[in-house]
Structure 1
């Protein structure tokens, strides 16, 4: 498994050498992302192939669950396999949880409407996320905010600071090579979303970053620390339903743990600091903070 950035170029050189030399060996390299220069190597060698590893087929996923103690006839078991995209590590993680806490009741577990990502898988996904460029992270954040497939043109319309379409196309392509996004087609128009487990991890990172930015502004009295809150509208655009409000609700809960009953006043202080700045500097920050204050007033 390749995961160290320093070693990737060495592996690429090894791959190039093997593709040019005559030999009878079969070399299998697994990686969570495509190696640099792979397309050029594959184009010049008939012996090089890239195979994308998908999740388990339904029958295999069911067999794994049965090995964990399920009969295979429990209501919701097929939906569970689909929800976790047949990822064997994820399924192995939730099996003991369902068995111990929900007494094997899969439907009761799924009614919690929460994706469980085990420590090992979360560490792997965080490792991938940390390798993303700023523009790739921004796209991932927007897909987490949307929570459903979004067309490329609609995604472009909400990115404040990426006017060059090639930046977005390159970012989407990079996320796809890392197997972090899913692509859907409707009337020959592609739309994109995050895989459920990736969405959970990215959403958590988004909320952590937003909390960190607010803390930094309060400590330094400097609004330049606002980044994610400035570049991303945390309520799904065009909606005011519970699903669209989910990230703001989670952010409010996290902030309340830090500021308790002074949270509303803290947010108002930041809003006051934004008054003398242009819309280009403020971005979505005023919308996000105002929405949080209104939620507190209604609580």
Structure 2
């Protein structure tokens, strides 16, 4: 007997790992702005409602990153389309995630506000049956590092000055000169970049993370300079079409880099990795956040732009 399973995750990167996976906001039509009585933006007659009626299982991976209001919105919507008062309309929900990892993003939120945004503070949590995994599948060959992650996540690792812990020596770059620290980090993460820049496996296995977008932009600029080949620059549109009363200086418009949009001056080279910011083809795995490799650049700098 064929059954329907709906697979979702909060980010496109996690969703693309699952066959047919979609981001939760895309699949369930969850609004961006959430409150205590938010409903999903689909009607009882919509295709989404019909799919959810027929689904036997709903998988929601990386739940720790999701605000509880989004899960509660789906619960209310499922109860509404099925006209029942059972949690999630009685469907089997499989939540995956670890609250020792990344928690929901609350802009300028305190620790208490971030904790309050998790599913642990939801009325749904009382109905959740916890099943714990015991083996780190990604670090099977490095049990020492896996044990360290568990101690770190459980809060049992020795700390000093309150919230600081010592990192293992084997994951540190010891005493790099401050002026050259980023270059040394790039050399460590991307050794022999010129020789391996065309290898998809090489690029997929490596990444440099940062806590601030401005630092990401700075590292991206250094990485593009290291890539072989001719650099191409694409410019964003720098005019406002829907507001004729205000005149915005071009310098001001070009200085704005909104969340989820590339910078005004986007520098790229052939074979450099890029991130898909807008969902193009979810059925083939092209979700928001999918990593791609640039293979062809078309148009001149003056003729084309990136909005």
Q: If the TM-score is normalised by the length of the shorter chain, which range does it land in?
A: under 0.3
Q: Which has the higher contact order (CA 8 A, sep 6+)?
A: 2
Indicate the structure with greater helix content.
Answer: 1
Q: Normalization by structure 1: what TM-score?
A: 0.23
Indicate the structure with greater strand content.
Answer: 2
Q: Normalization by structure 2: what TM-score?
A: 0.22
